[in-house]
Each structure stands twice: as structure tokens, then as C-alpha cells.
Amino acid sequence: MFISSTIFFAIVELILFSLGMRAEDWTISVFGITIPTYLTWLFQGLGEGAIYGVSGFLFLDMYLKRDDEKEFNFRRNLFIMIMVIVFICAIIVGIIGSTKPITSVRPMFGIVAILYLSLVIIVSFALAKFVASEGFLKYLKYYLVGSFIFIVVNLEPMHILGTRYIGVLNNGNVTYADPVYQVLIMLVSYLIEIVIPRAHYLVVPVVLGLIKLE
């Protein structure tokens, strides 16, 4: 899952960068060291994609080990620990970022994004239904639930603190959308833009026989 999530996430970031959907001056720095622009997509794959996929799979693995109390408790405690760490980091980033300008703006409902998301979702669930083993959709459901929990824990603190937000164009400027739209559209973003379209992080390695679910 680590490798699968890293690769798929990195590819999407590379596409976004190539299409100009990341600001020209958008950069990533770690402890004051700026990551070269040509490597940011790979760094994001490692830094964001990997933990996303692993968290979702860990939640699924909790279900798979539900009859073994010791193994279940270990995975549950590990999952909770990861979520707590992610939550704390998200709050820190949200506090620091709230004093800085937004560095990257992208449209949510562009035709390219809609076509891409639709294609990925259709192909992923077709593979899950007709190519993967019988009963896989049930496993996929738990993976998606775990992924959704991770996304909310990871991104919502930054949303609340204003580092990430839903914006609307107002006289050529991006301003905060109304609170109701903030909640509803961000929820749509979590589900339709992030969690469901990333089902292939698990589907592909399972279909290829790289992951066995028992």
C-alpha cells in the first residue's frame, strides 16, 4: 500500500503541475530546505499519498483481524495513534499557515477534473466488481471509511483554521464562500475528489495479486 499510494498520488500531482493547476511560485520546504520544483510531485507522493493509503488499509486490516482480539487491538491502537499524530500536525500547520497567503488555487468543477474523476471512479469500481475476488467490494468499503477518517483528521483542522477553504470569485478575487457552502462543498471534495477516486490505491494492487485479503 505504501508503494501503490506513493506512485498514484505522485502521478496526480505531476499532472496538476504539468497542467498549471499549481501556482508557479508554489514550493515545498522541509525544515527550511526548499524541495526542487521538479521533485515536489514525488515528495508529495511520499509525504501525503503514502500515509493516506496506509491509514485506509490499516483500518481495513482492523476488520480483517476482528476475530483475533490481540491483533485487532494492536491495529486499533496503531490507527488511533497515527490519527492523533496527524491531527496534531494538521493543527500546527493550520496555525502557521493561517498567517500566510494561500499559495495554490484550483477550480473544483472544471470539465477536465470532472472527466478525470469520473473515469477513475468508473474504472476502479468496475475492476473491484468484475475482476477482483468475490466479496472484495465489502473490503473496499472499509478501506474507504478508513481513508475518509484520515482525510477529515488531516484536512479539516486546516479548513477550520483558514489554511484551506472553499473560495468564490468576487470581482476577480477569491473570497471565502458562505459557511454552509464551506461545509457542504468541502464534504463533497473529501468524498468525490479525494476518497472515492482513490479507491484504485487498493483496487489495482489487489487485482494484480500484490495484496491478498484474507
Between 137 and 177, the higher pLDDT residue: 137
Taking all residues of the chain, what is their mean pLDDT, rounded to a whole number? 86
DSSP class of 182 = H
pLDDT at residue 19, rounded to an integer: 67
Q: How much is the pTM? A: 0.85
Whether the Cβ atoms of residue 128 and residue 198 lie closer than 8 Å to each other: no
Count the Cβ atoms, other than its own, within 10 Å of residue 105: 12
pLDDT at residue 26, rounded to an integer: 63
Q: Which residues pair with 189 in a beta bridge?
A: none
Residue 52 and residue 7: Cα distance in Å, rounded? 12
Whether the Cβ atoms of residue 93 and residue 163 lie closer than 8 Å to each other: yes
Give backbone dihedrals phi and psi of 102, rounded to 5 degrees, phi first.
-65, 130
Band the pLDDT of 22: cuts 50, 70, 90.
Answer: low
Whether the Cβ atoms of residue 159 and residue 181 lie closer than 8 Å to each other: no
pLDDT at residue 91, rounded to an integer: 96
Share of the chain above pLDDT 70, in %: 92
Residue 57 and residue 2: Cα distance in Å, rounded? 10
Give backbone dihedrals phi and psi of 173, rounded to 5 degrees, phi first.
-110, 150
Q: What is the SS3 assignment for 7?
A: helix
Q: What are the residues whose beta carbons fall under 8 Å from the beta carbon of 38, sequence distance 6 or more?
A: none
Q: What is the SS3 assignment for 175?
A: strand
The pLDDT tens digits for 165-190 are: 888 877 777 778 888 888 899 999 99
Q: Does 27 score more than 80 pLDDT?
A: no
Residue 32 and residue 46: Cα distance in Å, rounded? 18
Band the pLDDT of 162: cuts 50, 70, 90.
Answer: confident
| Pick from 50-59, 63-72, 106-115, 192-201: least confident | 106-115
Whether the Cβ atoms of residue 48 and residue 30 lie closer than 8 Å to each other: no
Closest CA to 56 of 170, 142, 182, 178: 142
Long-range contacts of 204-207 (CB under 8 A, 24+ apart): 204/4, 204/8, 204/127, 205/1, 205/4, 206/132, 206/133, 206/136, 207/127, 207/131, 207/132
pLDDT at residue 212, rounded to an integer: 85
3-state secondary structure 14-39: HHHHHCCCCCCCCCEEECCEEECHHH
